[in-house]
Structure 1
Amino acid sequence: MMIELVLATTLVSFVNTEMYEVSSCLGEKFELIEAANPQWPIHSERFLGVGYVDFRVTVNCEGKVVEYQITRSQPGGIFDRQSLRALKKWKFNSSKHAERCFDVTFKYESEKFEYNK
């Protein structure tokens, strides 16, 4: 499993990488301190193409993901578990707000993943 450390010297309201996109629900500036990339699910080795899983995420004042809801998933259910495993390892900057909301999309492109074997 690969954990990616995001080093940001300034706060941002949007992050976009090959593996995921993150935005604040309210446009609030944030820092993504730690982000784990999802693994390709074993049972989907024959899937060729592009998929995604969208989450609405609640983060507490310490920057930890405390609630999540899958808002869209394509193809349905295939990438949900691996996306959630990665998301639970994420850490955002601490905040004076008790809770903050983020939209997170994990992107799955068959050409960019190594299969779990």
Structure 2
Amino acid sequence: MMIELVLASTLVSFVNTEMYEVDSCIGEKFALIEAENPQWPIHSERFIGAGYVDFMVIVNSEGKVVEHQISRSQPRRIFDRQSLRALKKWKFNPSKHAERCFDVTFKYDSEKFE
């Protein structure tokens, strides 16, 4: 748990995990304070393979996601809803900027979900 707290407080310009990638649109350093992984959609339980959902996200000065737009998803629309549910719970570090832009990709692989 201590390691997670240290990692969460470190400012980076890119985050890459098994479940998601986050990149600042302008290369600005940020901290991802809270990040929830998406759940595997129930209606796609027979889906075998990998997929993704790409978002363009606007975060306010308090670190809350205030706007989002899906830029790509594969397969189309299968993982969109679960990705959005998780994304709405994310929190970034506060900033002096009124708004910041991030590219977020949720990665789905049937072998990594239980």
**TM-score, length basis structure 2:** 0.93
SS in 1 for 2:7: coil
1:111 match: 111
Report runs of 4+ in structure 1 exceeding 6 Å deviation.
none
Could you give the per-residue CA deviations for residues 31-70 of structure 1, whole angstroms, max 9, x where no partner exists? 0000000000001011100000000000000000000000
Letter in 2 for 1:40: W
TM-align CA RMSD: 1.4
Question: How far is 1:10 from its partner?
Answer: 2.4
On the 8 A contact 2:9/2:33 being kept in 1, the answer is: no
Please list every run of 5 or more consecutive structure 1 residues that lacks an aligned counterpart in the other structure. Answer: none
Please list every run of 5 or more consecutive structure 2 residues that lacks an aligned counterpart in the other structure. Answer: none
Letter in 2 for 1:101: C
**TM-score, length basis structure 1:** 0.91
2:54 match: 54
Q: Percent identity, aligned pairs only?
A: 86
2:27 match: 27
